[in-house]
Structure 1
Amino acid sequence: MEAIEQNGSIAAPTNLTVDDVDVDFLPLIYDIIRSVERDPHDSTQKTRESQDISQKILELHKKFDEARAQIGRLPGVEYSKEEQLKKLETFRKQLQLKKDLLRKYREMCTFEIPK
């Protein structure tokens, strides 16, 4: 996805990581459950509590939608499981080749320079 700045130019997409995705739903869920468990006896208070619960549920749905949008922007999500596994195997092979090259260079003879 491309990010568009206010002046109309295209900005570089931001690199989003898993740690940046906001998936902290438990406080909202806890508030909803606590609100449902309360049983006010006054009908006007019941109406107000019902509206508060509805508002909290809407906030939770909004938070779910935001999380879905953020997850959709994570790098690599566009690949299927098979493609991801194929890339992982390729990267593992590259890592092993680089490790082998490093080991080879370390074991090479070093030449002493006369002073």
Structure 2
Amino acid sequence: MRNLWGRRGHALVDYVTAPALYLLSRCTGLSAAPQRWSDTFVLLILLAVTTTRTPLGVVRVVPFRWHGRLELASVVVQLALPWLCGFSRERRAHHFFVGFAVYNFLVWRATDWSARK
């Protein structure tokens, strides 16, 4: 897969992902625990994108490559979350988090983490 975007592009994707995830989780009809985890990821995405050294960062303190490493780690957590938190048998929640992990991995993979802009 070719890198599709650098710092600015990735930040734009994150700024779109957070509200989309918020709305999608509500449309999906998740139960209480998976909904709280989804909301946590919405907040973490917003925290990450606003504090990362990108042209769209608000408080640019986190190096872009660290953002990438943390994002990849979050993919692993998203995949494991249904089993770690006991909602793996909830079909909607299970598919929601596995789908979110796949999406997040594709975004991570499409990003040029060594980009200057």
**TM-score band, normalised by shorter chain:** 0.3 to 0.5
Which of structures 1 and 2 has the bigger CA Rg? 1
User: Which fold has the larger relative contact order, with Cα–Cα distance below 8 Å and residues 6 or more apart in sequence?
Assistant: 2
**Which structure features the higher share of helix residues?**
2
Q: TM-score, normalised by structure 2?
A: 0.32
Q: TM-score, normalised by structure 1?
A: 0.33
